[in-house]
Each structure stands twice: as C-alpha cells, then as structure tokens.
Amino acid sequence: MLDQKTCVYVLSDSLGETAELVVKAAASQYNSGHAEINRIPYVTDKETVKETIEDAEKDQAMVAFTFVIPELREYTVNLCKEKNIPFVDIMGPVMEQMARITNKKPRFEPGILRKLDTDYFKRIEAIEFAVKYDDGKDPRGLIRADVVLVGVSRTSKTPLSMYLAHKQIKAANVPLVPEVKPPKELFEIDPKKIIGLTISPHQLNEIRKERLLALGLRDHASYASMERILAELDYAEGIMRRLNCPVLDVTNKAVEETTGKMLSILREGI
C-alpha cells in the first residue's frame, strides 16, 4: 500500500496537470490514497530533467512524465533506466499508437490541449453573452460588449451576434423602434464598437410578411406594411447618425458575408 513516504516526481513540457491527475488516480486505488507529488512544469532542457531525476534518486521516488518532445522523452527514459528509477511515460505510447493509426507525424508542440480548451471556453462565454444581451434585454451589457449591433427588427441582429460569438467576439444587439427610446448606455460607449444594420424596404417587407405567416398572422398587419417599414428605417437612420457609427447594408447578404465586413470594421477600429 502507498504510505506517507511515497514520492512521485512529475515532469512535463507543459503544465503537467495530466500526469499529476494520472498519478493521483493511481494513488487512490491504494488504502492510504496518498502520494507526495512534486510537479515540474514547462521543462524544455535536459539539465532540468537530470536535476529532477537526481532528486528522485535521493528520495527513492518514481518519475512520471508527459513529454511531446522526442528528445526529452528519450533522454528521460534512458536516464531513469541508467539509475534504476521506476518511471512511467504517460504520453509517449499513446502518441506512438496514434501515429501508426493515422499514418501522420505529431506536431511535437507542448500545450496544444490547453490552447484548445482556452479557445473553447472563450467561445462558450461569448455565446452565453450573446444570449444574455440579445434584443436589448439588459443595456448594462453594452459596456462589456466587443461589438454592439443596432437596427430595426429582422435585420439579422441575433444571427450575426451568434455567428460573431463562435469567433469568440462578445456581441450585444439593440433593436431600434420609434416608440422605444434607445438605452442611454448606447450613447456612452465608443462608436467604433457599434455597427448599424440597414436593409432595403422591399426585402424587409417580404421578410416580415413571411414572419407573420409563420406565426399564423395575417401578412398585411402594420408590422409588415411599407409605411411602417419606411418610418422605422428613417428613425433607425437618424439614431445611427447620432451614434456616428459605421452602417452595413444586409440586403441580400449572407450572415457569413456580413460578418466578414464586421470583422474588417472592428480590426480597423482597434
């Protein structure tokens, strides 16, 4: 059984969290479930490996490591064998089998998983942000947004916000309606991070008619009337002039195309 004297040195060319978790999982299978773990992260040279193995030899410890750099793996294995130190190469055998299966060479780049995880969580955070601050739900979010989209109803504000979120950009959007005063926060943020959306009256008329039919309503309701649409677009144009923000016409534009133009605007504004 493991006891209080059990010692493991963990080496990694990244953080070493994987090796440490494996060692802890193995230790939990013994009565005491305890192992003294000394983690040495970001190892990039043989000298650090040599010093660590010398310490492991003195402490009669085991060595576990996750190296993706072949030279460090080979050096560690040979040195442990030379000094008769028990060791576990956690990453090596898995990488070798994957290389055989895929018939491809690995990138030999430490820390890729952490980078992928970071990108993933940033994307999830941006998606949650877009949902929370969609359709002007909470104007307090405008200050925290990377970009704020404004425009009349059915100008693709929500789809564009979600598409930007998948690119790790926090987007909020605010509908411009003549009967509703825009939030004061909209006029307090940098106009460089506000993008106005406009559309041709005729296309908006068709989109709104289809929307009403989808909801089981008559397509000649005020919401889809040309008079109402022209009034809304005129009002929105006035607000955008006050904001002094760039304006994009989304008429007959795919979400991907409009997003590309938005990204160019945001890069220019940085």
Same fold yes or no, 7-110 and 114-269:
yes
pLDDT at 111: 57
Check the annotation: does 8 bind a ligand. Answer: no
Mean pLDDT per 10-residue interval, the chain, length 270 residues: 70 85 85 79 91 93 90 92 94 82 71 63 90 93 96 96 94 96 96 96 94 82 92 97 97 94 86
Q: Give me the pLDDT at residue 110, please.
A: 61
Task: Tell whether domain 114-269 is in CATH 1.10.20.
Answer: no
Which residue, among 20, 124, 134, 135, has the nearest Cα to 66 in the 3D structure?
20
**What is residue 31's predicted lDDT score, i.e. its pLDDT?**
61
Known binder of ligand: residue 147? no
The domain 7-110 is placed in CATH, from the list 3.30.2310, 1.10.3710, 2.60.40, 3.40.50, at 3.40.50
The answer to whether the CB of 25 falls within 8 A of the CB of 88 is no
pLDDT at 115: 60
Count of CB atoms within 10 A of residue 154's CB?
22
- The domain limits of the chain are 7-110, 114-269
Q: How far apart are CA 59 and CA 109, in angstroms?
A: 31
Per-residue pLDDT, 107: 64
Residues 6+ apart with CB under 8 A from 265: 195, 246, 248
DSSP string, 82-138: HTT--EEESSHHHHHHHHHHHT------TTHHHHHHHHHHHHHHHHHHHHHTGGGS-
Distance CA 11, CA 21 (A): 13
Instruction: Confirm or deny that 158 is annotated as ligand binding.
Output: yes
Is residue 156 a known part of a binding site?
yes
- Residue 73 near residue 67, CB atoms below 8 Å: yes
DSSP string, 196-238: EEE--HHHHHHHHHHHHHHTT--TTSGGG-HHHHHHHHHHHHH
The encoded tokens of residue 268 equal 């220019």
Would the annotation count 33 as a binding residue?
no
**Which of 23, 74, 69, 81 shows the shortest CA–CA distance to 43?**
69
Is there a binding annotation on residue 250?
no
Is 154 assigned to a binding site? Answer: yes
- List 63's β-bridge partners, or say none: 9, 87
pTM: 0.61
Please indicate if the annotation marks 259 as binding a ligand: no
Segment holding 74, helix H or strand E: helix 70-82
Residue 157 token pair: 């504000």
